[in-house]
Amino acid sequence: MFGFSPAEGAGSMTKQLCSHLRAHIGNGTLPPGLRLPPTRRAAQELGIARNIVIEVYEQLTAEGYLITRIGAGTYVANSIELRSPKSVPPQPAPVPAPVPNRHAGDWIDFDAGTPDLRHFPRKLWSQYMRDVTANEPEHVLDYGDCRGSGALRETLVRYLFRVKGIRCTPDQIIVTSGTSEGCLLLASAFGDMFRAVYVEEPTIGFIADIFKTLHYTVHPVEVDAQGMNVGQIDPSAPQGLLILTPSHQYPTGSILSIQRRQQAVKLAETYGHYILEDDYNSEFRHKGSPIPPLHLLAPDRVIYAGTFSKTLSPAIKLGFLIVPPHLVDRILQTKADLNLSASSLTQMALSRFIEDGHFDRHIHKMRAIYRKRRIFLKEQVQRLFGGETQVLGDEAGMHVQLVFRPEVYGSVDWKGCEAFGVRLSSFDEYARRQGRHPGKIVLGYGKLTEADIAEGLRKLHAFVQSVKSV
Amino acid sequence: MFGFSPAEGAGSMTKQLCSHLRAHIGNGTLPPGLRLPPTRRAAQELGIARNIVIEVYEQLTAEGYLITRIGAGTYVANSIELRSPKSVPPQPAPVPAPVPNRHAGDWIDFDAGTPDLRHFPRKLWSQYMRDVTANEPEHVLDYGDCRGSGALRETLVRYLFRVKGIRCTPDQIIVTSGTSEGCLLLASAFGDMFRAVYVEEPTIGFIADIFKTLHYTVHPVEVDAQGMNVGQIDPSAPQGLLILTPSHQYPTGSILSIQRRQQAVKLAETYGHYILEDDYNSEFRHKGSPIPPLHLLAPDRVIYAGTFSKTLSPAIKLGFLIVPPHLVDRILQTKADLNLSASSLTQMALSRFIEDGHFDRHIHKMRAIYRKRRIFLKEQVQRLFGGETQVLGDEAGMHVQLVFRPEVYGSVDWKGCEAFGVRLSSFDEYARRQGRHPGKIVLGYGKLTEADIAEGLRKLHAFVQSVKSV
């Protein structure tokens, strides 16, 4: 009956009969209006249990292929278009892209994007996650508060005051799944106020890309040894958001000076701009004490963005914004509209982890590690390159700027390093305007051991020798 | 000297002296150009170690407050604007908002948004998370592949074929942190192609809100017992995205019939629309087998969105899109521009959890639980309300539609239930056009025990009696 013959290993009888009928209704073999045999008879003829036929009829009625009229039987429905569903030929699963492993082989990669994850306190963190997952009330498994968990926001208020001197209330804190989500949120929230962002030039592109994707105009503003040259922003420039990394600019390593900070705040207050303080790694200051956040100067104009991607791990997926009180409602409404929330589980684990002092201990440990690497790197650069290059912007974080004498190295294509087994970035890779940073490169050392650093610099030295001798 | 006297418990000497000098340079007591005493003398006069003074001078030089000229000493810098940083009065931490607890007190809440988290396999899940966190190579702590982890994407390909008959390649799968992020991504990616979305009316608002926030025009299209009435979309309507929940519409519970599916696909193919198939809970089908996804009919026009928020927990923060091959590059480029990524750790844990069969087992268990509750709910409704109401849309998921006779209950304000200790939603809460769904309410039963359901329905019955007798 129906030309149906079940096949071994092709799924349950119900499933096979359903597919078979769908296909034959679909191609017109079983035409609209056709009355199907009663379930009892169909079951007999097909040699299968009657309740399977009942199930199949019910299923196809729910899907619209069949119509059941009480007391009158089951019919093929009308207005089903005759065509077989497009068959997609089964495709072999392609070999997955290799997991990015920047230390593969003999490569040395002076990438600066991630912390040294070898020192992430895996065991401790997984204990916190396990405890929270296993023992907390149900609500940690639920969507949770759009602002972020109350416990984490209170923890952050205490942490920010203790470590950075920031005074804010839990209501001003909005937990995000990282700085990118924070920027996306701000770009959506500010869209009907203004459509301009002022970004450091050169800088890492991802924040500008987010705003550009959300249809903002991106205005690059030059960075020098004192950070963004805020004075270049014209008073007649459109209202917008100044995006600054005051504590350690990437790639220059500059610290925004007090004069520039005051200028930025005055500009913002006078012309209605806001400032995004992207504080991605001020925890790792190597000389003296941490630079006070720009937020302290103008808590009404500055939105402070913090992240745990650089201090703990990007896989934690947590960051936060501190928002001026008068902007809280606007930004929260946008967050609710976009339905963005971070994992309640992870938030609770992080709150406990900080409260128990483990976060401070981890920062302390990593700062010591990065400091040591920084000193080692500077010594090696001095030893290998002498007066050919200068190390700048090394007071914080996990990267330094190297400036090779432009009269000798100004036209070097630094991509050529790769042939020598070392990867690094020239300033031009971070610049919207090319050719303005001759001889300048950036070395991230956060992920590299001293042995890696030494080897990487030897390889860089070999490259530099090769271009010099050309 | 400098009027400085350290205070007990106010931080390190370095920190105190820095703050003191910042304040006095800031208010003009130490004017621009003033030469500071050499470090040795300052140390003597202040009665502190010389290296503290050196540290302080270096710190304030880095911040721009001081200028050091080699061989000439240290001076207060120019062009610092004289004003004390705005002091924000310390504010008492406000009492945090109470954690949303929808079962608090005697309330019965027929909310349909979350699964029954009491049955989430906490212990097992935390073991998977712990194993991955403790033992995987470093890259699981890193940002990871923008498309999502290769392992998870391959697992999903196998799962989707096995359970839903979907054929796709890992390259077509884009892991998201949930359907909201998926929609945000699509809204950004499609923005320069079209700016219209067609949404079910009534429906839950969050997806439309996301598109509206990203400046799309939202066109509501009526839903009836066969799902969205696709025929209402005019051929002259602007190109856009049809957002459908084919397997179980919310709040009606309708299943999109085969005729409507074909109509939607034809419309999309003819006029260049795309279709978003929001498959939020087809796993929980209670009669017959799962309805084949709309994706099977038109893999080139349908973007399929899956989520683990309803099957496991919203705190997992994982979902995915299946994208037509010709759209993969566009959507991935947007994802890279927005710098959105899901936690590598959680992705790896989920991949293993599925491969080891635990996900299927959990679905199987929850389906049995929801089925039992659904039967119980229907029996109770029949027993209490008899012919006053009809249960519709109960074939899948965790909610049903109740239709009270409109001639008696058409003008009831269902908010009044709350006075009787029960929370539920009327269709009007999900409708853009009010007053078109008299007597219709939705009951989510996924989170409620049989005892809760019985009590909730008794309370609803008491309310219904009270409005009837008015």
Give pLDDT tens digits for B434-449.
889 999 999 999 999 9
Whole-complex ipTM: 0.85
- Is B236 a residue whose pLDDT tops 50? yes
- Give residue A155's pLDDT: 96
CA distance A219 to chain B (A): 17
Give per-residue pLDDT as tens, B23-59: 888 888 888 888 888 888 888 888 888 888 988 888 8
Rounded CA separation A414/A460 (Å): 10
- pLDDT tens string, chain A, 470 residues long: the values are 777 878 877 788 888 888 888 888 888 888 888 888 888 888 888 888 888 898 888 888 888 889 888 777 888 988 787 765 444 444 444 444 444 444 445 789 999 888 999 999 999 999 999 999 999 998 899 988 999 999 999 999 999 998 889 999 999 999 999 999 999 999 999 999 999 999 999 998 899 999 999 999 999 999 999 999 999 999 999 999 999 999 999 999 999 999 999 999 999 999 999 999 999 888 888 877 778 999 999 999 999 999 999 999 999 999 999 999 999 999 999 999 999 999 999 999 999 999 999 999 999 999 999 999 999 999 999 999 998 999 999 888 899 999 999 999 988 999 999 999 999 999 999 998 888 999 999 999 999 999 999 999 999 999 999 987 65
Joined together, the tokens standing for residue B96 give 């945090």
Q: What is the DSSP letter of B464?
A: H
- For residue B422, the cross-strand partners are B108
Q: Alpha-carbon distance B57 to B30, whole Å?
A: 14
Burial of A270 (0-12, 13-18, 19+ CB in 10 A): exposed
For residues A166 and A154, is the Cβ–Cβ distance under 8 A? Answer: no
- What pLDDT was estimated at residue A83? 65
> In the beta sheet, which residues pair with residue B426?
B441
Cβ distance B114 to A143 less than 8 Å, yes or no, reads yes
B338/A210 touch (CB, cutoff 8 Å), yes or no: yes
Residue B91: CB atoms within 10 A of its CB come to 13
Give the closest of A64, A210, A345 to B339, CB-based: A210
Q: Is residue B394 within 8 angstroms of chain A, CB to CB? A: no
The answer to whether B371 touches B172, Cβ cutoff 8 Å, is no
CA B213 to CA B216: how far, in whole Å? 7
Chain A, nearest residue to B124 by Cα: A134
Our CA dihedral for B353, B354, B355, B360, rounded to 10 degrees, sits at: 120
Best to test chain B binding among A162, A337, A362 (most B CBs inside 10 Å): A337
Q: How many CA atoms lie within 13 A of A203 on its CB side?
A: 26
Summarised one tens digit per residue, pLDDT across range B309-330 is 999 999 999 999 999 999 999 9
Q: H helices of B101-178, where?
A: 122-135, 150-164
DSSP string, A73-97: EEEE-S-----PPPPPPP-PPPPPP
**β A217-224/A108-109 pair status:** unpaired
Domain B361-469 fold is Aspartate Aminotransferase, domain 1 (3.90.1150)
Confidence of residue B85 (pLDDT cuts 50, 70, 90): very low
| B100 pLDDT above the threshold of 60 | no
Strands A422-423 vs A227-228: parallel, antiparallel or unpaired: unpaired
Question: Buried b / exposed e across A148-160, counting CB within 10 Å, b at 16+?
Answer: bbbbbbbbbbebb
Q: What is the pLDDT of residue A131?
A: 95
Q: Any idea where the domains of chain A sit in the sequence?
A: 13-76, 121-358, 361-469
Contact between residue B253 and residue B400 where contact means Cβ atoms under 8 Å apart: yes
Mutate: best of B258, B291, B312, B318, partner A, most A CBs <10 A? B258
Contact A167 B88 (CB under 8 A): yes
In total, the C-beta contacts within 8 angstroms joining chain A to chain B are 290
Q: Which of A301, A291, A245 is nearest to A271 (CA)?
A: A301
Look up the pTM and report it.
0.86
Three-class SS of residue B353? helix
Among B13-22, B80-89, B331-340, the minimum mean pLDDT is found in: B80-89
Determine the residue of chain B that is closest to A147 in CA distance: B97
Alpha carbons A397 and A375: distance in angstroms, whole number: 13
Q: Which residues of chain A make contact with B129, given a CB cutoff of 8 A? A: 126, 129-130, 133
Distance between A134 CA and the closest CA of chain B, angstroms: 5
Residue B166's pLDDT is: 93
User: Which residues of B are less than 8 Å from A153 in CB distance?
Assistant: 96
Quote the DSSP letter at residue B316.
G
At residue A171, φ and ψ (nearest 5 deg) are -65, -25
User: What is residue B91's predicted lDDT score, i.e. its pLDDT?
Assistant: 44
Instruction: Give the integer Cα–Cα distance in Å for A456 and A394.
Output: 18
Give SS3 for A52: helix
- Using CA coordinates, name the residue in chain B closest to A347: B315
Can you list the alpha helix ranges (DSSP code H) found in B2-139? 13-26, 39-46, 50-63, 122-135
For residue A346, give the nearest of B126, B338, B308, B175 by alpha carbon.
B126
- Closest C-alpha among B279, B367, B275, B290 to residue B324: B275
Architecture, CATH, for domain A121-358: 3-Layer(aba) Sandwich (3.40)
User: Quick check: A169 and B91 CB within 8 A?
Assistant: yes
- How far, in Å, CA of A310 to CA of A314, rounded? 7
Candidate CATH numbers 3.40.190.10, 1.10.1060.10, 3.40.50.2300, 1.10.10.10; the one for domain A13-76: 1.10.10.10
Residues of A in contact with B97 (CB under 8 A): 145, 150
| Section B322-342 average pLDDT | 96
Asked if B139's CB is within 8 angstroms of A126's CB, the reply is no
Interface of A with B in 110-149 (CB under 8 A): 113-114, 117-118, 120, 122-123, 125-127, 129-130, 133-134, 137-145
Nearest residue to B161 via CA among A338, A272, A263, A90: A90
Q: Distance from first CA to last CA of chain A, Å, rounded?
A: 83
**C-alpha dist (Å) from residue B205 to A334, A338, B218, B250, B413:** 14, 11, 11, 10, 20
Contacts of B453 (CB under 8 A, 6+ apart): B373, B376, B377, B380, B445
The enclosing H or E element of B278 equals strand B274-278
- CA distance to A14, A53, A59, B287, B289, per residue, from A49 (Å): 10, 7, 16, 17, 16
Tens digits of per-residue pLDDT, B179-209? 999 999 999 999 999 999 999 999 988 999 9
CA distance B119 to B257: 32
Residue B313 and residue B366 in contact, taking contact as beta carbons nearer than 8 Å = no
* Calpha distance B417→B413 (Å, rounded): 8
Q: Between chains, do B97 and A150 touch, taking CB under 8 Å as contact?
A: yes
Dihedrals phi, psi of B402, to nearest 5 degrees:
-115, 130
Nearest in space to B404 (alpha carbons), one of B380, B383, B426, B434: B426
Q: Which of B34, B54, B33, B35 is nearest to B43 (CA)?
A: B54
Tokens 């504010």, residue? B91
Pairwise CB contact (< 8 Å): B337 & A209: yes
Give B260's contacts in chain A (Cβ within 8 Å). Answer: 64
